[in-house]
Amino acid sequence: MSNLARLTRQTFTIARRDFVATVFTPTFLLFLLAPLMMLAFGTVGGMGAATMAKSGGDKVRIVVLAEGERARTLAATDARLRRIYRERERPPVLIAEKPAGDVAKQARALFDSKAIEASAVLYGPLEKPQILYGPQGDRSADYLAQLAEQGLQVEKIGSTQALSEPTRIAIARSGTTAGGQGQAAFFTVFGLFMVSLLLAGQVVGTMAEERSNKVIEILAAAVPLESVFFGKLIGMFGVALLFLTFWGTVVLNIGAFLPVKLATALGDVGVAVGMPLFVLLFFAYFVMAYMLLGAVFLGIGAQASTQRELQMMSLPITIFQVAMFGFASAAAASPDSWVATAAELFPFSSPFAMAARAANSSELWRHGAALAWQALWVVLTVTIAARLFRRGVLQSGSPRLFRRRRAAVDIPVS
């Protein structure tokens, strides 16, 4: 059997053990359903926040001090203007109050009223209206100004009827827009970040099991440490794939039930290389992101000798992931900038940034080069992690790599 075949066989033996040991446990079910719990908690939190916002917003009003025909004109104009806004963006409900005595004083008093919560109040002639507004009422004030303008025009024309009768035709674009590609790039980076955050972090503690059970000595005697590291990465990657397949299927099926309007809105969002190739590239970059970050985390985690050390490591690991996300997001926002080039070259942000590029640009040669570059770094990272482990934990220096520096870095026997 050739060396490569032996290494492959040994690597997959380790991977198989890790995969089985992870998947066939009740804890895996918790892991698999974790996004559901996240979603549930998010929904509950969101509903609570929405209820609070709604209860506060129910009393908010914009007020015009007008009566008679003018009040009716303004109400009709308000009804027409209001249609422009989406539900959540609409201004507060308009009410008309009959002017009485000192209107300036009356308008000011409305802000102290317990019956309503005035956001802005308009009084005086429509040619020169006075508009008062409270905290966060500046947009309401703008709206009232526009309402006065439109109301005055209606009064001058003498009719609230619309003069123009437009015909609206919805057009579906044959391609995607630059803005849509930018959005797709961001979604790509975000998606990769989320899956790598959820999944690559899982490998951090996997070597701890071998260390605490003393199995590492058995493994180290039977297979090269590089195979152990790769095996663990591949085993946990299998777990990650299972997770993605499950949730991918769920999301695809949910997609079929999305409102038509939302599907149309997403029509602009598209990728430069075309969807089939993009899916392939996304998967390839997911593999690389997982392997690269996983190799770093595995290497760091392998140095930990206690659970406490592992927990301490989780913060810098998360910060590192978020930093890569930020770097790649900046690259996605400006694909031709030096930041983008740097993010594409830096090995640990490269998968994210290149996935974003697949959404932004149709050039293909870069992807081949990037995948080769990232694969090289996967091998390098695993090799370095294995050597550090061999030296730090098994107390065995590699003669070729470390011998010259041995006197300076020898580790005392424990």
Residue 384 C-beta: closest distance to another protein, Å: 17
Binder among 104, 220, 266, 313 for another protein (CB under 8 A): 220
Residue 233 C-beta: closest distance to another protein, Å: 17
Q: Which of residues 15-54 bind another protein (CB under 8 A)?
A: 17, 21, 25
Site string for another protein, 315-334 (x = CB under 8 A): --------------------
3-state secondary structure the chain: CCHHHHHHHHHHHHHHHHHHHHHCCHHHHHHHCHHHHHHHHHHHHHHHHHHHHHHHHCCEEEEEECCHHHHHHHHHHHHHHHCCCCHHHCCCEEEEECCCCCHHHHHHHHCCCCCCEEEEEEECCCCCCEEEECCCCHHHHHHHHHHHHHHHHHHHHCCCCCCCCCCCCCCCCCCCCHHHHHHHHHHHHHHHHHHHHHHHHHHCCHHHHHHHHCCHHHHHHHCCHHHHHHHHHHHHHHHHHHHHHHHHHHHHHHHCCCCHHHHHHHHHCCCCCCHHHHHHHHHHHHHHHHHHHHHHHHHHHHHCCCHHHHHHHHHHHHHHHHHHHHHHHHHHHCCCCHHHHHHHHCCCCHHHHHHHHHHHCCCCHHHHHHHHHHHHHHHHHHHHHHHHHHHHCCCCCCHHHHHHHHHHHCCCCC
| 208 part of the interface to another protein, by CB under 8 A | no
| 399 part of the interface to another protein, by CB under 8 A | yes
| 6 part of the interface to another protein, by CB under 8 A | yes
Contact 355, 188 (CB under 8 A): yes
Binder among 58, 102, 138, 209 for another protein (CB under 8 A): 209
| 224 part of the interface to another protein, by CB under 8 A | yes
| 13 part of the interface to another protein, by CB under 8 A | yes
| 396 part of the interface to another protein, by CB under 8 A | yes
| 178 part of the interface to another protein, by CB under 8 A | no
- Stretch of 45-53, 215-223, 261-269, 375-383 lying at the interface with another protein (CB under 8 A): 215-223
| 354 part of the interface to another protein, by CB under 8 A | no
| 363 part of the interface to another protein, by CB under 8 A | no
| Closest by Cα among 187, 222, 190 to 14 | 222
Phi, psi of 279 (to 5 degrees): -60, -45
Contact 23, 242 (CB under 8 A): yes
Nearer to another protein, 222 or 312 (CB): 222
Residue 219 C-beta: closest distance to another protein, Å: 7
- Stretch of 48-56, 103-111, 209-217, 237-245 lying at the interface with another protein (CB under 8 A): 209-217
Dihedral sign computed on CA atoms, order 254, 257, 261, 264? positive
- Stretch of 100-108, 109-117, 154-162, 220-228 lying at the interface with another protein (CB under 8 A): 220-228
| 138 part of the interface to another protein, by CB under 8 A | no
| 406 part of the interface to another protein, by CB under 8 A | yes
The three-point CA angle 15-19-24 to 5° equals 155
Nearer to another protein, 12 or 373 (CB): 12
Nearer to another protein, 13 or 146 (CB): 13
Residue 10 C-beta: closest distance to another protein, Å: 7
Residue 396 C-beta: closest distance to another protein, Å: 3
Q: Which of residues 232-251 bind another protein (CB under 8 A)?
A: none
- Stretch of 56-64, 269-277, 323-331, 394-402 lying at the interface with another protein (CB under 8 A): 394-402
Residue 15 C-beta: closest distance to another protein, Å: 11
Instruction: Catalogue the long-range contacts made by 275-278 (C-beta closer than 8 Å, 24 or more residues apart).
Output: 277/358, 277/364, 278/358, 278/359
| 408 part of the interface to another protein, by CB under 8 A | no
| 394 part of the interface to another protein, by CB under 8 A | yes
Nearer to another protein, 171 or 408 (CB): 408
Residue 395 C-beta: closest distance to another protein, Å: 6
Site string for another protein, 156-175 (x = CB under 8 A): --------------------
CA distance 363 to 354: 11
Binding site for another protein (CB under 8 A): 1, 3, 6, 9-10, 13-14, 17, 21, 25, 209-210, 213-224, 394-399, 406, 410-414
